[in-house]
Amino acid sequence: MRILLIPTIADDALAVGKSLLPPGYTLILGDPKEGGPALAAKVRQADVIIGFIGRLPPEAWEAARGQIKLIHTLSAGYEEIELDKARELGIPVCTNGGANAISVAEHTIMLMLAAYRRLPDLVATTRAGKWRGLMGEVRYYELAGKTVGIVGMGNIGREVAKRLRGWSVHTIYYDVFRRSPAEEAELGISYTPLDELFRQSDVVTLHTPLTKETHHLVNAERLALMKPTAVLVNAARGGLVDEAALLAALNDKQILFAALDTLGQEPPPADHPLLRHPNAIVTPHVAGPTWDSWPRRFANAYANVTRIARGEPPAWLVPELRG
């Protein structure tokens, strides 16, 4: 099988991918930055496409017709892939099978704690040569005893729930597919309708794909439901949040804090108001790519390629293409 990897990744990460390549498989390197015709030429040499796949140029889709048997993302997100085009050409599109779920879950917990303890302010204070001020002047909070609402109970949502079990929190969740009583008991989670989750939660954390249905899931109306001491965490996709509404909610003290690993435009403009807001933390969409996650990403991709080679259906097909 000939595997086209796009776009360009760092040499050390590429070395991981090459070291795990099954015998007889070939890895071809390509990048949309080369231009549509150049990428199309690479597509015509390949059987499958893997990588952090964004919007492909028309020439690449045309070259994929009758040629490409699988598109497999190394990320959990797939919103930029033209699923209608993939459906037309009969190409299955699959996610990374939760390869980055642990990474994102850990980053999510970090964002919760960083928000409650105002970590960026503390670091800036000590770097400026200052020490703590009047005791009790700034309000820091504990995670213990709080209600955490998880929106989306997929691979990442499950890993977040697992990690919260030792934090003495009450964990509620919303997902379009309610989990079984046994799984809810195993994870220590309680199903809650979406708007009620926003009302009850001290921390709301988002772990759902970006689709037409979830675009601006967090809007002015839902922000108005939240407690004035609540924290919003988004380590999923920027388009889930109406950023203008979030900025207004922070300025009006409708909520306490926002901790974000992703924004609607990436990279954001230098003057984006959330980047320097006193009640916001923004990290540069780095929750997923820990060094530990690279072997899992490639192993899952190659396993799916092997399934296709054997004539079996692939795993982790995106929901929109199932059936």
Phi, psi angle pair for 290, to nearest 5°: -75, 160
**Cα separation, 270 vs 171, whole angstroms:** 36
**Helix and strand element counts for the chain (H, E):** 12, 12
Handedness of CA 109, 77, 238, 291 (dihedral sign): positive
Asked, colleague to colleague, whether 2-99+290-318 and 101-282 share their fold, the answer is yes
Q: Where are the domains of the chain?
A: 2-99+290-318, 101-282
The CATH architecture assigned to 2-99+290-318 reads 3-Layer(aba) Sandwich (3.40)
- Residue linked to tokens 């776009």: 7
Task: Say how far residue 41 (Cα) sits from the centre of its chain.
Answer: 31
Q: Tell me what pLDDT residue 136 has.
A: 87
Q: Tell me what pLDDT residue 223 has.
A: 98
Q: Tell me what pLDDT residue 140 has.
A: 95
Per-residue pLDDT of the chain (323 residues; tens, 9 = 90+): 999 999 999 999 999 999 999 999 999 999 999 999 999 999 999 999 999 998 999 999 999 999 999 999 999 999 999 999 999 999 999 999 999 999 999 999 999 999 999 999 999 999 999 998 888 889 999 999 999 999 999 999 999 999 999 999 999 999 999 999 999 999 999 999 999 999 999 999 999 999 999 999 999 999 999 999 999 999 999 999 999 999 999 999 999 999 999 999 999 999 999 999 999 999 999 999 999 999 999 999 999 999 999 999 999 999 999 87
Q: Tell me what pLDDT residue 75 has.
A: 94
Residue positions annotated with a catalytic role = 237, 266, 285
The answer to whether the beta carbons of residues 261 and 237 sit under 8 Å apart is no
Q: Tell me what pLDDT residue 150 has.
A: 98
Q: Tell me what pLDDT residue 132 has.
A: 87
Q: Tell me what pLDDT residue 323 has.
A: 75
Exposed/middle/buried for residue 252 (C-beta within 10 Å: 0-12, 13-18, 19+): exposed
C-alpha closest to that of 199 among 149, 252, 253 = 149
DSSP state letter for 44: T
Token pair recorded at residue 227: 């407690």
Collapsing DSSP states into helix, strand and coil, what is residue 75?
Answer: coil
Helices (H), 202-292: 220-225, 243-251
Q: Tell me what pLDDT residue 134 has.
A: 84
**Cα separation, 55 vs 32, whole angstroms:** 9
Q: What is the CATH number of domain 101-282?
A: 3.40.50.720
